[in-house]
Structure 1
Amino acid sequence: MDMNAYLSMFIDESNDHLQSLNENLLQLESNPEDLSIVQSIFRSAHTLKGMSATMGFEDLAALTHEMENVLDLVRNSKLKMDSFIFDTLFKGLDALEAMVQDIIGGGTGKADVTAIVAALQSILKSDYKSGSAPSASSETSAPAGEESSASLLDQFQSSILLQSMETGHEPYYVQVTLDDNCVLKAARAYMVFDVLERTGEVVKSDPSVQDLEQEKFDRSFKVFTISTIPAASLREQIANISEIASVEVTPLDAESLASLTSAPAAAAVEAPPKPAEAEETPAAKKEAAETAKKPAAGTQAVGRTIRVDIDRLDTLMNLFSELLIDRVRLEQLASEIKRNDLTETVEHMARVSSDLQNIVLKLRMVPVDSVFNRFPRMVRDLAKSLDKKIDLVITGADTELDRTVIDEIGDPLVHLLRNSVDHGIETTAKRLEAGKPETGTINLRAYHSGNHVFIEVEEDGAGINQEKVLKTAIKNGVITEEESKKLNSNEINMLIFAPGFSTADKISDISGRGVGLDVVKTKITSLGGNVTVHSEFGKGTKFSVQLPLTLSIISAMLIKLGSEKYAIPLTSIVETGIVKRSSMLNVHGNRMIKFRNTIIPVVSLSQVLESPDYDETTEEENEMIVIRKGEKWAAVLVDEFIGQSEIVLKSLGKYLTNIHAISGATILGDGQVALIIDPNALIK
């Protein structure tokens, strides 16, 4: 069998377990006496080790095994967690994540973890010298006559055995006992494994393969295997090996697998099934039956959720986009033909496709928690390196965004959080001097508002020193001294987003190289979003990121400029109206109009796009669209309104990138192509 068929499942579940390990270790660091957290960490590590060994990633399994040894001592109250142990375990997690990333990239998951393993082993040795008697592993320390947790399957191994049934293979539980006078136990075990691997695939062994190779077992061992031959044939082939006292091959079904699978939250575990001829006490039978029932209920709940490859969702979205274009075309034809039965059919199709559109869009929605969950560990490490005390408070992690947006916002948020940790939160001494709590707080929150999602990073640190910002901006040539006198408070704060801008007094691994916030603004703008900053010196700073819910299908206002049609996203439109040329003002050579007790600039779209057959200067009255970008407004002059429509955003391709004021294109119902205006580019 080809275990690569399970690689995708392995990667997904490994990432889940690594994230769980990170989160639980952070919780344990805050509550080091809570052994229930240690149990959760141990189970995740144990499962990850079993998965890695099953897939043949021995380096990953070996490192996890060493971490598991330390955790086993902690959960048995033989070792107390301290700063060194936490740091070592976190380094181990970083190495495990790097190995999984290597596997994702097509590698073998190998890495040099000698230093980390040495540190883990030193923890075990120091514990032994202190008078405790640590066990080498939880798998080899079970009392004689009792089954250890190693005798059970984890969820991943159980899934592989279940899937093997669907592909026509047979899962077996094999118990092998060697002769009393067997001298080369490891050699006999190897011969048994050779038979099993020639006829199928070994999923798990008890004791582990490493222990079998080192002869760390008595006379018997057990194996879960997937085979292509009947149980009787497999038993016969193993029995033909010399010095084998007995062989039992027990076929497995879904029910027996359920009773053999360790529940994620269970502290106690059940033993593997006994051969058919072995006797069980009535109490044991009742206990096994109750255990079998519990996973069955859990399996039903898990079965209501499936993993779907993002490429398939992209394909579904593209197909629906074509359907949406045809729907608009049908609506147009129905209005021209004017047949009641056709109109009714098209209207019904429009309602159904609208419902389908909502479902397709929701399928692509992912909670921002998938991005937020890596930040507690990052902030913890940064705070420790800077000798600061910081609490990260996350709210609204269940807020959903389109997967394409989720994939892009990680790096900008990393920059904002690093900036808050380094520049925002003061040192403990400075906070106490300012009358603040010694522990700084960073709030990371997300929430919906209309067709947008807002993500805010707010801290109670020193705030922005505007005087220092202005001096740096003038020194770096971002603005002139004359221009600096005209800036208001918000405009001064926004200077920190200028390319190459940095107020750091010294260069470090975290900041001072002039790379950071300009990247944030560029990335957020490219996603059709906006970022603003509000700060009060001495009290703190808040960064607010505004993002569109989705980038695939948007609501837009269709307009005309002569013979050309364009689309402007509704999310940027404040209102529409008519403006007379006589009401326009001339301010320093720029056309302006009065709007809501303020004066806003007028933008000629025909001039920006160099429209060949429309000139609004010949008209006394012009159609007007008021657009907004953050706190800035502008009135855009157009020829004619066509109306509101749902449009499918199409890329212009790599040969037509960076066209001023154009963000993409869409296909209209009549088959024409309309360019999509980027409102952000029209406001300076």
Structure 2
Amino acid sequence: MADMEDYKELFVVESRESNETIAQALLTLEECNDRETIDEIFRSAHTIKGASASMGYMNLEKLCHTMEDVFDLIRNGKVVASAPLIDVFLGCTDEIEALLDSIEGGGDDQGENIEDLVTALDTWKENGNRADASSTEDGEAQRDPAESEAPVDGNARGSGERYRVTVTLVPECSMKDVRAMIALSNLGEIGSIISAKPGVEAIEDGNFEDHFEVIFESEAGAEAIQAAISGTDIVSVTVESADAPPAPEKKKEAKQQKSEHHGKTKEIKNIRVDIHLLDQMMNLVEDLVINRGRLKQIAQKNQIKEFDEALSMVGRSVADLQNLMMHIRMIPLSHIFNRLPRVVRDVAQHEGKEVDFIIDGGETELDRSVMDGLNDPLLHLIRNAVDHGIELPEERRAAGKPEKGCLHLTAMRDRDNVVIRIEDDGAGIDVERVRSKAVSKGLMTQEEAAALSEDQVNDLLFSPGFSTAETITDISGRGVGLDVVKAAIESMKGSINVRSTRGEGTCFELVLPPTMAIVEVMMVRINGRRCAIPISNVVEVAILKKDAVHRVGSSQVILLRDEVLPIHLLGDMFGGSNHGEVLVVLQYGSKKCGIVADVVEGQQEVVVKPLSTLIGSCPGVGGVTIPGDGEVVPVLDVNTMI
């Protein structure tokens, strides 16, 4: 499986979106407490929690899990989403943002405030609506919390000793409100808060410099009070008798209180773009490529120096824009591969088989247009490998194999193409069974079937409606066979081959172009008419020697470097008899052939457009292109020709 590091960027982007959703919904919740908003926050926290756990960020998972627990209580009416609780949640979103920044920068999810936030949320889980009771006294509504002492508990027990508790936090503490709220909550557990300076509401909102004072009544004693408050971000806790005169207040310069998270500007590194906009951009880039060719022809005709220099600069810019656009459209194959383990599991369970599924090369990229057409063929081949290829455990045991079969999916770049292999260690293809099936379906006679080589028999698997399944099941035997897969792959200008060894396994190999839009072609003339050949299919260009051409049956072949190649004159496609003197050698997979041309005009990048549905399909033509002079030129489909 691909390394988890490959998914980190996607994890950060999606988690940041979910975190922003939580922050916005919290502000909405403060104005209007509705079920839909609560559910939205719950879902977003759940999303971050699940993604964090799968990526191994357990601190982030712990924080989101605790948030989820409290919001579950809010959703069930056991806790009210009051202002102090929303403050804690907003502190959580700040901490999540900081953790995501750390992860994005190559760090981990170790945060200074996680434990404090989890403790604060646990207090709400345990105490429910009583957790903020101290901040909702009616008598405080009209008073300035920053300037006066605020009675907190009107029904103080009247027993125990009164203390003046002064708490000083570190000056750079970024979450004073949460830390202060924890301190007040801990005090409330061992006694009664009589008053606070500034008021409790102001303290819980963080509206103080770096210290606050509480008049407190308790039977626990000074040491217990000090131990209850001490913790992270607290510099000192002073506990003295309330009867003693207050300590002189330190004169400090007023300092702007600014949250570390809210004060910094956030650079937007990722945006989501509608795929249709990318398609429109691609069309515009294709038009630029076509018109660049037109301008080159004009420059060659007029020989204007300044025009040549400007065109050279424009040409480089268009080439860079084209490469950038192609890169933007590239998508890792992991987007398809990640769905397949579930398919393997389901089919294996249905068939009573055990399969070890291995994926390599998920980071290999393909153009979106190629990727869209690859999903169904790949799904069919994977199901086929588990259903037809890998045997039942008892059959494998009898054959001396491990009971658990192995299915290996691999992707890699090979020169200008992407190669995908689906290999299994199953029974392999039963050649004799395929021959008999071909005869029974009337595809050929017994004698013709017997004369076929093993490779030719394997090619029969791609015949329309061909299937070796004896019974129709949910998995196979419905006549939708490998012919559909082959047609889909060839429509993407790719190829599919199969290799098999009886008793050892089968390998299907897909060869696909990374993109179908802009390709490099060789321009040739055949019988005076121009056509384009994809450069990836051209092996070499040679002078055609008439004495090396021989006739075998109704076909012509040529002996070229001890290799016999069939020759196509393409008279049916381009009219007339072909008397060209140039041999263009083409290759598709492991097969080669030659075509006869009048002249080779050179190489250039062109935009290949599919044939119009009004024209229909034309054997041997994969599409058309329009070079700079405006002529419509057919692009040969070498796959079909060979």
TM-score (norm 1): 0.62
2:591 corresponding residue in structure 1: 632
Q: 1:501 aligns with which of 444, 466, 475?
A: 466
**TM alignment of 1:158-307, pairs within 5 A:** 207-208=74-75, 211=76, 216-217=77-78, 220-222=80-82, 257-259=93-95, 270=118, 277-280=201-204, 286=233, 303-307=268-272
SS in 1 for 2:439: helix
1:472 corresponding residue in structure 2: 437
CA shift, 1:296, in A, is 9.9
Gap change, CA 1:333 and 1:385, over 3 Å in 2: same
SS in 2 for 1:221: coil
2:303 corresponding residue in structure 1: 338
CA shift, 1:598, in A, is 2.8
Deviations 1:338-377 (A, max 9, x none): 1222212212222222222111111111100011010011
Q: Which runs of 4+ in 1 moved over 3 A?
A: 147-152, 247-257, 259-276, 280-287, 292-297
1:573 corresponding residue in structure 2: 538
CA shift, 1:262, in A, is 9.8
2:617 corresponding residue in structure 1: 658
CA shift, 1:569, in A, is 0.8
1:177 corresponding residue in structure 2: none
1:594 corresponding residue in structure 2: 559
Distance 1:467 1:342 in 2: 68
Q: 1:321 aligns with which of 283, 286, 292?
A: 286
Distance 1:532 1:401 in 2: 20
**Contact (CA 8 Å) 1:478, 1:498: kept in 2 or not?**
no
2:81 partner letter: F
**Contact (CA 8 Å) 1:259, 1:295: kept in 2 or not?**
no
CA shift, 1:450, in A, is 1.1
SS in 2 for 1:467: helix
**TM alignment of 1:121-140, pairs within 5 A:** none
**Contact (CA 8 Å) 1:558, 1:641: kept in 2 or not?**
yes
Deviations 1:650-682 (A, max 9, x none): 233221221222221111111222111111221
2:577 partner letter: D
SS in 1 for 2:377: helix
State the Cα RMSD in Å: 4.1
Count of residues in correspondence between the two structures:
472
Deviations 1:633-654 (A, max 9, x none): 2111122211111001123322
**Contact (CA 8 Å) 2:526, 2:574: kept in 1 or not?**
no
SS in 2 for 1:356: helix
Gap change, CA 1:304 and 1:335, over 3 Å in 2: same
Deviations 1:528-583 (A, max 9, x none): 00000111100011000000010110000111234432111111212112223332
Identity of aligned residues (%): 34
Consecutive unaligned residues of structure 2, counting only runs of 5 or more, are 1-6, 54-61, 101-108, 122-176, 182-199, 212-229, 235-258
2:592 partner letter: W
Distance 1:350 1:440 in 2: 54
Distance 2:91 2:295 in 1: 53
**Contact (CA 8 Å) 1:263, 1:295: kept in 2 or not?**
no
Deviations 1:225-258 (A, max 9, x none): xxxxxxxxxxxxxxxxxxxxxx789899998842
**Contact (CA 8 Å) 2:329, 2:368: kept in 1 or not?**
yes
Gap change, CA 1:336 and 1:674, over 3 Å in 2: same
2:415 corresponds to 1:440: no
Distance 1:333 1:253 in 2: 66
Distance 2:88 2:408 in 1: 51
Which moved further from structure 2: 550-559 or 514-523?
514-523
Distance 2:262 2:356 in 1: 38
1:115 corresponding residue in structure 2: none
1:452 corresponding residue in structure 2: 417
Deviations 1:419-452 (A, max 9, x none): 1101111111111111111111110000001110
2:172 corresponding residue in structure 1: none
1:525 corresponding residue in structure 2: 490
Distance 1:470 1:416 in 2: 21
**Contact (CA 8 Å) 2:417, 2:511: kept in 1 or not?**
yes
SS in 2 for 1:565: strand
SS in 1 for 2:345: helix
2:600 corresponding residue in structure 1: 641
CA shift, 1:57, in A, is 11
Gap change, CA 1:532 and 1:596, over 3 Å in 2: farther
SS in 2 for 1:544: strand
**Contact (CA 8 Å) 2:406, 2:424: kept in 1 or not?**
yes
Q: 1:410 aligns with which of 372, 375, 379?
A: 375
Distance 2:263 2:572 in 1: 65
Distance 2:587 2:283 in 1: 30
**Contact (CA 8 Å) 2:524, 2:599: kept in 1 or not?**
yes
CA shift, 1:334, in A, is 1.2
**Contact (CA 8 Å) 1:382, 1:421: kept in 2 or not?**
yes
SS in 1 for 2:298: helix
SS in 1 for 2:309: helix
2:511 corresponds to 1:546: yes
CA shift, 1:466, in A, is 0.6
**Contact (CA 8 Å) 2:624, 2:634: kept in 1 or not?**
yes
Q: 1:358 aligns with which of 323, 336, 357?
A: 323
Distance 1:250 1:472 in 2: 71
Deviations 1:498-531 (A, max 9, x none): 1111111222111122212111101001100000
Distance 2:270 2:470 in 1: 51
Deviations 1:142-169 (A, max 9, x none): 9xxxx743558xxxxxxxxxxxxxxxxx
Gap change, CA 1:279 and 1:536, over 3 Å in 2: same
Distance 1:372 1:57 in 2: 38
Distance 2:35 2:308 in 1: 61
1:627 partner letter: L
Deviations 1:264-283 (A, max 9, x none): 87896555867993425977
SS in 2 for 1:655: coil
Distance 1:679 1:591 in 2: 18
CA shift, 1:487, in A, is 2.1
2:344 corresponding residue in structure 1: 379
Deviations 1:578-603 (A, max 9, x none): 22333211111211111343322111
Deviations 1:182-235 (A, max 9, x none): xxxxxxxxxxxxxxxxxxxxxxx9612xx2xxxx325x334xxxxxxxxxxxxx
2:577 corresponds to 1:615: yes
**TM alignment of 1:79-90, pairs within 5 A:** none
2:501 corresponds to 1:536: yes
**Contact (CA 8 Å) 2:525, 2:601: kept in 1 or not?**
yes
CA shift, 1:285, in A, is 8.5
2:94 partner letter: A
1:149 corresponding residue in structure 2: 68
2:540 corresponds to 1:673: no
CA shift, 1:406, in A, is 0.6
SS in 2 for 1:485: helix
Gap change, CA 1:254 and 1:364, over 3 Å in 2: farther
1:422 partner letter: D
Distance 1:539 1:639 in 2: 49
1:393 corresponding residue in structure 2: 358
Deviations 1:312-356 (A, max 9, x none): 111111111111111111111111111222212212222222222
Distance 2:470 2:416 in 1: 41
2:610 partner letter: S
**Contact (CA 8 Å) 1:420, 1:459: kept in 2 or not?**
yes
Deviations 1:24-81 (A, max 9, x none): xxxxxxxxxxxxxxxx9xx99x99xx99x99x998xx79x99xx8xx99xx9xxxxxx
**Contact (CA 8 Å) 2:569, 2:596: kept in 1 or not?**
yes
Gap change, CA 1:148 and 1:328, over 3 Å in 2: closer
Gap change, CA 1:278 and 1:649, over 3 Å in 2: same
